[in-house]
Amino acid sequence: MAAVVLRGGRVVDPATGADGVMDLAMDGGLITAIGADLAAPDGASVIDVADKLVTPGWIDIHAHVYWGATTWGILADPLCLASGVTTIVDAGSPGWANFAGFNEWIAKPAVTRVLTFVHISGIGLTYGPLGEMEDIRYAIPSLTAETIRAHPDITTGVKVRQGQGQVGGNGVEPLRRAIEAAEAVSTRVMTHIGAGVPLPDVLGLMRGGDIVTHCFQGRGDTIFSDAGEMLPEVREARERGVIFDVGHGGGSFHYPTGRRAIENGFLPDVISSDLHSLSVEGPVFDMPTTASKFLHMGMSLTDVIAAVTIAPARAIGRADELGSLRQGGVADVAVFDVEDGEFVFEDTHDITETATRRLTSHLTVRGGAVWYPEEVRERFGRPEDSIPATVRKANEGMVRAAGITPRRM
């Protein structure tokens, strides 16, 4: 692999505190030097990134990329390599019963680093229209733990969804079983919060290091009381180390909830997309669009970059290898344009706001290989173009049954 030097960009790396105009040199898939006016090795490819933003490769800890086997799945490479994401974590599409297919046919062939939470439901998120934990018999902690124990290279913890539409009348029993599995292998739980299961009941079970996803969702059982006050259980959970993740998705980001939280000093720990077959065509689109919404809502650029690099790396226990631009570390790098103008961004409640800045991907470096968005599209196509017709039909039926418009689940 040829050496590459990114010349003259603004390097922002919250993990190391770096923030300034400098060069970044890579060779053999590793970062070899960072500094001003670096000499380019013989034969190196020198890329001018002046006036652009250079960051560690982004880490999206909530997406669904079990393409071809689930109604939610989209392809990882056309999505990630075109948007600065070098590591993507599937939020529980596979359970123990269908994990082998995910590992063999999704994770291993991908250019993008693909990791996954293992769902406490043995069937994972195979079929969107039906709740995977309405039948508690699918939850077998011992087999979930065994799967994680056997595959530490690509597993990041246990996933559970705690909305009534997913658990039926089982309350927080799925979460209890997820925690049982996680404790057996000393890992974390990612918990989807939604309507129908009281949030204090959910948070009361979660441990330091566990992750709440959809923290700014606005459809019942939110982080705020009916009177608009933040629930004391939310602050108590953060104080004991529970991590709060955005998980935007097609139905789980509400501008008023997010704005109220940020105005009260409650920033998300992690920004993630929850990209899937019902959100990739909007309102999510990609990670830079999601991150731009938080710039618009008042988070600083440094805080936003931390929330998509080192913070998710820590959240999944990979900060020793991912999320920074340390010399000798893997050459996963993202380069962005920071554009000024008027940009309309939508949440999942049909609320639009006009931002004055946005991030757009200029190039992605994955393991030292450079990918431009147009090259990614030429090789892989667009992720939304790969959604099978049968999945589209199932999704249409699902949203009609819920009485909502498409891309709102």
pLDDT band at 399 (very low <50, low <70, confident <90, very high): low
Q: What is the pLDDT of residue 166?
A: 96
C-alpha 62/C-alpha 86 separation (Å) is: 13
Helix, strand and coil in the chain, % to nearest 5: 30, 30, 40
Question: Using one digit for the tens of pLDDT, what is the confidence trace for 253-308?
Answer: 999 999 999 999 999 999 999 999 999 999 999 999 999 999 999 999 999 999 99
C-alpha 268/C-alpha 303 separation (Å) is: 10
C-alpha 150/C-alpha 207 separation (Å) is: 23
Question: Using one digit for the tens of pLDDT, what is the confidence trace for 90-115?
Answer: 999 999 999 999 999 999 999 999 99
Q: How far is CA 38 from the centre of its chain?
A: 33
* First and final C-alpha spacing in the chain: 42
pLDDT band at 405 (very low <50, low <70, confident <90, very high): low
Q: What is the pLDDT of residue 392?
A: 84
Q: Is the pLDDT of residue 397 over 90?
A: no
Q: How far is CA 176 from the centre of its chain?
A: 24
Q: Is the pLDDT of residue 48 over 70?
A: yes
Question: Using one digit for the tens of pLDDT, what is the confidence trace for 118-140?
Answer: 999 999 999 988 899 999 999 99
Q: What is the pLDDT of residue 408?
A: 40
> What would the mean pLDDT of 386-406 be, rounded to a whole number?
72
Residues in contact with 385: Cβ distance below 8 Å, sequence separation at least 6, in sequence order? none
Question: Using one digit for the tens of pLDDT, what is the confidence trace for 143-185?
Answer: 999 999 999 999 999 999 999 999 999 999 999 999 999 999 9
Please tell me the least confidently modeled range out of 10-14, 196-200, 379-383, 403-407.
403-407
Q: What is the pLDDT of residue 103?
A: 98
Please tell me the least confidently modeled range out of 190-204, 218-232, 274-288, 380-394.
380-394
Torsions phi, psi for 348 (to 5 deg): -105, 15
- Round the average pLDDT of the chain to a whole number and report it: 95
pLDDT band at 239 (very low <50, low <70, confident <90, very high): very high
Q: What is the pLDDT of residue 320?
A: 97
Q: How far is CA 259 from the centre of its chain?
A: 20
Residue labelled with tokens 């999945």: 391
Q: Are strands 30-35 and 45-48 parallel, antiparallel or unpaired?
A: unpaired
Q: Is the pLDDT of residue 406 over 90?
A: no
Q: What is the pLDDT of residue 409?
A: 38
Q: Is the pLDDT of residue 324 over 60?
A: yes
Q: What is the pLDDT of residue 1?
A: 73
Q: What is the pLDDT of residue 394?
A: 78
Q: Is the pLDDT of residue 389 over 50?
A: yes
Amino acid 184 reads A
C-alpha torsion angle, residues 160, 163, 168, 171 (rounded to 10): 70
Q: What is the pLDDT of residue 395?
A: 77
